[in-house]
A and B are shown apart, each in its own frame.
Chain A
Amino acid sequence: MKIKELIKQDAGFQYIIDSMELMSAAGRRKMLNTEFCADADTLRAEWQRLDQAIQATKEFKFKKPYIDLRHCLMCLHDLQGTLASLANHTALNEVELFEIKNLAQMAQTAKGAIAGLGLAEFLPIPDTTEVFALLDPDHTGIANFYIYDSYDPRLTPLRRELNALQTSEGDPIRISELLALQNEIQNEVCLRLSDQLHPWTETLVTTLEQMAYADFLLAKADLALRWELTRPEIGDTIEYKGLINPRLKERNEKQNLRYQPVDITLQPGVCLITGANMAGKTVLLKSVGTAQMMAQLGMYVPASKAIVRLLEGIVTSIGDDQDEMNGLSSYAAEIIKISDILRTCRSHEMLVLIDEPARTTNPVEGKALVQSIIKILNTLNSFTLITTHYSQLGADCRRLRVKGFVEDMSDLPLNPQNINRFIDYSLTEDNSDDVPHEALRIATILQCDLEMISLAKKMMNEE
């Protein structure tokens, strides 16, 4: 599972990707093609490199090697197409040769900068000086390029004659002849240079990929510092202290609202999340998913302490995929998605996040479906989080309740902007099979239509 497939899921992953400040298109490509990694050694090594990169960023942020490296990455062109042509023995044109010469030169500058940052061991850049020399026959040391006279002895006299004719506005037929001949020679030289460069293909591909990786690594380090991320440990359970949803935290900070981190521990099987509306159940799912994704992409995670269990992937059913154009109702779209999730989980160990399953169909069948989903997932090794408003599910699984509204609600005018001051987002183990009934209370707080609320209360009492 690659990052570019993961971010299609509506679980806030895209926000993390958008927050990465990459310098180059190649770095972005590298990031999007990163595999969701379940190998502990690989991840530990990656976190080790990240740790080094964070140290280097802290020390050199505004100093020469760091600035030099960023500048190189900013100028890095993604030469995949050119390098593929080189691999296939296709003759490169002058512009492509120029690009390769630039890459060769830039790689050496980057190599120096990386050494200056003390990262040479973690970011080895191949030696490309011979490639540069091949494209710099006059030893200018400059990354300009054309088919230099020294590439072919016929060029000097030809160009001398051409120059004389052009300057004196001489015979146009002879000029065309010379131009045609020059083109022929230039093509020959291009072909020859492409052949000479062919053995360097792998070196150049490695160079490009390493530079792209350097970009990705620096962006990870930058994000870790900006968001104060934590290096996770690998364990058998999932355990977070002070877990944060970066997107919500940033929004809250912009509006001067408090943000409450939460603690959560998860075991294999199903964990049911209950709690009032607006108590942050969906956000919790997204936070857990985001942290898992970041960890397994070799990033640090938004929590003060984190233990992660390495899983094979993340599958989610969050949000509404209703699509009238496909003839799918909310319910149909959702149940197809959940059925796919079950199929995946029968053979893979996944992180499963399901937000209020079967909420858009009738409560009788809906409840039965939720019960069956829980029963199936509870026997599998995946880690499943399901939020729900159904009570009396009678399911034999763990339950966590978001504490929700604090009792002390002063008679301040409440609105969606300040309501979060009266919610305790922390989780508590819940052994009852009941869910909080606070829908009417919240409607009251939100100053909704009084007649609607009082009528509903009356009906509740009559039942």
Chain B
Amino acid sequence: MPFVRDILNHNSLSIVGLEKNTGKTVCLNYILKRLNELGTHVGVTSIGVDGEQVDSVFATAKPEVVLYEGTHFITSEQHYMKRQTVSVLEYVDSHRTALGPLVTARVLVRGKALLSGAATTGILRTQIEQLGSMGVDLTIVDGALSRLSLASPTVTEAMILATGAAVSANVKQLVSKTKFLHNLILLDEVDSDLRERLSVIPSGLWAVDDDGLPHDLGIASVFLIDRSEQDILRYGKTLFASGAVSDRLLRILAAKEKGITLIARDFTKLFITPEAYVEFTRRDGRLMVLQRSKLIAVTLNPTSPQGFLLDSASTCHALADALQTPVYDVKKI
């Protein structure tokens, strides 16, 4: 029973995919099954709409989520009406989605259901809290599309990364794309003192001096950086970006000077390509995060929505080699 024990040390878990059709739902079903055997009180929800019977983009068959007795789940009214399970409604949110209000229910008789959920991480966070207050030990958030924001350590404590043939049919490319995101997930954390000082900064680009004190550079957004007349390195070569980090920021920093350290909140704030990252690191640049996500496992779906199939064993092996971490085929665990 790989990696399920690791999950139990956390209150919340997100399953995010590098792409659509990387097997998030298959992975979720595996985890739910194992946790049921262990008797864990699980809560399940999703970000956006998920769990559709037929994939709405590629029209391929999609597995449904199987929910076990005692599990709490959050979904929209319309999806709730289509459930194939017996369950008790416990809460109806006043917040409405396109599919009606979000409802919370407890499963009485095992069965399949469609999950849909909050569209924003703010609401998701409240839902995780709400499920906690209903006695849930672990809330699992099923990702949608290739959204990563739910894996932010400020939203869910731990994460599972799903990758697969949908990312690329070329094993080499699949490995390199997965490895890049994996590297970002595992970026070094700053020390706790600095994290405390920086985490309260609401916005903008800040400098961190040698004593670890933050200074406002007066740049409200990293997108306005080239309009700034002032030298952004006047306090030293460590910077903190409170919001998103883009390729352009990395390239501007790489061009400015060697050996710059850029701190981001967490990996979900990094909207960067491997090319820009390489340019930055070649100039001895270093990326760090305030908080690192706890990566529980990497899973592989060898089937792509277009129908071709990668060789499971060798792909898993190639990935595990590159990432230095075990990789599991979702169809075989």
Contacts and interface: CB of A to CB of B under 8 A. Distances in A.
Interface in A255-287: none
Contacts of A99: 92
Contacts of A146: 86-89, 105, 108
Contacts of A98: 89, 92, 103
Nearest to A102: B92
Nearest to B80: A95
A163 B110 contact: yes
A25 B88 CA distance: 26
Given A77-B94, A93-B81, A94-B81, A162 B89 contact: no
A95 B88 contact: no
B84 A144 contact: no
Given A95-B101, A166-B111, A179-B111, A159 B86 contact: yes
B109 interface: yes
B326 interface: no
A167 B70 CA distance: 13
A197 to B, nearest CB: 16
B19 to A, nearest CB: 30
A93 B94 CA distance: 17
What does DSSP make chain B's interface, helix, strand, loop or mixed?
strand
Contact of B109 (A94, A95, A159): A159
Contacts of A93: 77, 81
Contacts, number: 48
A34 B169 CA distance: 64
B211 interface: no
Interface residues of B, number: 20
Interface string B31-51: 000000000000000000000
Nearest to B77: A95
Contact of B88 (A144, A162, A163, A182): A144
B103 A95 contact: yes
A25 B96 CA distance: 13
A145 B86 CA distance: 11
Contact of B94 (A25, A145, A159, A166): A25
A102 B93 CA distance: 12
B231 interface: no
B84 A179 contact: yes
Contacts of A162: 86, 109, 111
A94 B103 CA distance: 11
Contacts of A145: 88-89
Contacts of B81: 93-95
A94 B86 contact: no
B214 interface: no
Interface string B96-140: 000011010110111100000000000000000000000000000
Contact-size category for A: 10 to 19
Interface in B27-85: 77, 80-81, 84
Nearest to A160: B109
A95 B84 CA distance: 16
B229 interface: no
Contacts of A94: 80-81, 89
B210 interface: no
Contact of A182 (B86, B94, B101): B86
B275 interface: no
Interface string B132-150: 0000000000000000000
Contacts of B100: 95
Contacts of A77: 92, 94
Contacts of B111: 162, 166, 179
B91 to A, nearest CB: 9
A39 B150 CA distance: 56
Most chain-A CB neighbours within 10 Å: which of B80, B101, B111?
B111
Contacts of B94: 25, 77
A95 B90 contact: no
A93 B77 CA distance: 10
A132 B103 CA distance: 20
A274 to B, nearest CB: 46
Contacts of B109: 159, 162-163, 166
Contacts of B110: 163, 166-167
A166 B92 CA distance: 27
Nearest to B111: A166
Contacts of B106: 144
A163 B100 CA distance: 29
B94 to A, nearest CB: 5
Contacts of B103: 95, 98
Nearest to A99: B92
Q: Which of B86, B94, B103, B110 has the most chain A CB atoms inside 10 A of its CB? A: B86
Interface string A69-112: 00000000100000000000000011100110010000000000
16 contacts: A77-B92, A77-B94, A93-B81, A95-B101, A98-B89, A98-B103, A144-B88, A145-B88, A146-B86, A146-B87, A146-B89, A159-B86, A166-B110, A166-B111, A167-B110, A179-B84
Interface of B: 77, 80-81, 84, 86-90, 92, 94, 100-101, 103, 105-106, 108-111
Interface of A: 25, 77, 93-95, 98-99, 102, 144-146, 159, 162-163, 166-167, 179, 182
Given A146-B105, A159-B108, 4 more contacts: A94-B89, A95-B80, A162-B109, A166-B110
